[in-house]
Amino acid sequence: MLFKDIEYLTPSMGIERAYVGVVDQRIAYLDTVAPANMALYGEVYDGRGKLLIPGLYNIHAHAPMSLLRGYAESLSLQDWLYNKIFPFEGKMVAEDDYTGSLLAIAEMLRFGVVSYSDMYFFTDERIQAVRESGIKANICPALMVFDPDVKFEDLPEEQSNRRYVQEFHGACDGRLRIDLNIHSEYISNPQVVQAVGEQAVELGVGTQIHISETALEHQECKDRRAGLTPAAYFESLGFFRQPCTAAHAVWAEPEDWQIFARNGVTIAANPASNLKLASGFAPLPEMIATGVNIGIGTDGPASNNNHNMFKDIYLLATVYKAAAGDPTVITPAEVMQAATINGAQAQGRDDCGEITVGKRADLVVLDTDVPWMKPVSSQLSNLVFAAQGSDVVLTMVDGQVLYRDGTWPTIDVERVSMDAQVATNRIAGELAAG
């Protein structure tokens, strides 16, 4: 495909106009004049009234929780998790995770997400959804440990982690990557944390965790671990030796920011989820100033309640100004970097995340010929503060169009939507029956 005379977001977060050509999986042409051989690129896409941006990276998600959308509302995190979410999840079967994943993927593609990082159960089914849909994903098998004495070698995940890495890490020409997981400090024990960290080093893969999401979680860790914060606790056990994506970090302390920076930990900011669960405001401006890589996550649809990254982009660009009492913090450029290149780097995708010749053709087209994107004083500011997820008219992953003008070529959205409603009704009925 050749995007003809289209505005695009540059790696330096500027807006320029060019011809952008895609051959196979990569960006093969980028210039202000048309290529000599336009036929080489196939379809010519008219760029008038459009904006081309790198695909968005949702680096903290629980995709199958699409089935729990709207299920548990107006509850504290602990009440929400233990009294509503865990019982519902206890009734989910493998097919539910496949259906919930496909529904979430369709939603993400609709809103310009080209890759996501996912932490959940029934990993084979989640992998199947990624393979079929064409999206990119960093999938990790969820590991939750409630026994303080159990050892990692006694858990089935010790072997299943190896199988997933051996069979699927780098599959689908790199679209699929496998990470390892510790749910959190409070749903784990030290020997398992240390062993998973060692396994990540051995297998050469990254990790995903939740960290310092609530004040209670943060303080109880310090009470249990001789004053260590969750970040200090994980570092003391050698968990950060491989690239790690740590979700939330709302209550991280200044010493934690240094831990993240020196270990290359990426913080997945989840502004919508943190607001909805009243978890607080992560010290993002301070962490950015410390050199911490910041990306964006939607979290699960039970705590957001959607995968519309444009909503989280807007919140990231606004609420932290209010929280800091300083309208100069978190610039539009920093927000778009978090949503694109920072997320690609967090996932270990060095050939993704920006519109440059040679990079993977993970591209999103927005319709800017709409009233809320006019007039244009700064198209970057319009993109961050005015654009809507519904403005996305095309999402391309590795050169393949996966969403365009209301259609999903790889997903039967009508069937998936119906299957999701049936699954949610079944589980809710089982819970009501006791």
Q: What percent of the chain has pLDDT over 90?
A: 97
Q: Are residues 62 and 158 in the same domain?
A: yes
Strand 56-61 to 113-120 pairing: parallel
Predicted confidence (pLDDT) per residue in 142-159, tens digit? 999 999 999 999 999 999
Mean pLDDT of 375-400: 98
Total tally of structural domains belonging to the chain: 2
- Give me 414's structure tokens: 């009508």
Specify if 410 maps to a domain. Answer: no
pLDDT digits (tens, 9 = 90+) for 165-175: 999 999 999 99
Tell whether 425 is covered by a domain.
Answer: no
Distance from C-alpha of 155 to C-alpha of 150, rounded to nearest angstrom: 8
Give me the mean pLDDT over the 64-88 stretch. Answer: 91
Residues 193 and 287 in one domain: yes
Q: What is the mean pLDDT of residues 331-351?
A: 98
Within a domain: 417 = no
pLDDT tens by residue, 105-115:
999 999 999 99
pLDDT score of 81 more than 90? no
Q: Evaluate whether 219 touches 191 at the Cβ level (below 8 Å).
A: no
Q: What is the pLDDT of residue 49?
A: 98
Rounded distance between C-alpha atoms, residue 129 and residue 232, angstroms: 36
Q: How large is the C-alpha radius of gyration of the chain? A: 21
280 falls within a domain: yes
Q: Has residue 75 got a pLDDT over 90?
A: no
Give the model's pLDDT for residue 434. 82
Both 296 and 367 in one domain: the answer is no
Query: Is residue 228 in some structural domain?
Result: yes
CATH for 383 = 2.30.40.10
pTM listed for this prediction = 0.97
Output the pLDDT for position 80. 87
| pLDDT per residue as tens digits for the range 43-53 | 999 999 999 99
Whether 34 is covered by a domain: the verdict is yes
The residue from 313, 329, 346 where one domain ends is 346
Kindly state whether residues 267 and 319 are assigned to the same domain.
yes
Length of the chain: 434
Residues 301 and 374 both lie in one domain = no
Together in a domain, 132 and 255:
yes
- Please tell me whether residues 133 and 100 are part of one structural domain: yes
Are the C-beta atoms of 229 and 253 separated by less than 8 Å? yes
Would you call the peptide bond into 305 cis, given omega within 30 degrees of 0 as the criterion?
A: yes
Asked, for residue 423, whether it belongs to a domain, the answer is no
Considering the domain architecture, whether residues 216 and 321 belong to the same structural domain is answered as yes
Q: Is residue 100 very low, low, confident or very high in pLDDT (cuts 50, 70, 90)?
A: very high
Domain of 236, CATH number, reads 3.20.20.140
Q: What's the pLDDT band for 5 if we cut at 50, 70, 90?
A: very high
**What's the pLDDT score for residue 414?**
98
In a domain? residue 336 = yes
Residues 119 and 47 in one domain: no
Q: Are residues 274 and 255 in the same domain?
A: yes
Given 346, 364, 391, which residue is the final one in a domain? Answer: 346
Do 271 and 149 lie in one domain? The reply is yes
- Which of 330, 346, 362 is the endpoint of a domain? 346
Query: Residue 78's pLDDT is what?
Result: 83
Is residue 272 located within the same domain as residue 330?
Answer: yes
**Domain containing 118: what range?**
56-346
Give residue-wise pLDDT tens across range 7-54. Answer: 999 999 999 999 999 999 999 999 999 999 999 999 999 999 999 999
Amino acid at 286: E
Helices and strands in the chain, H and E counts? 16, 17
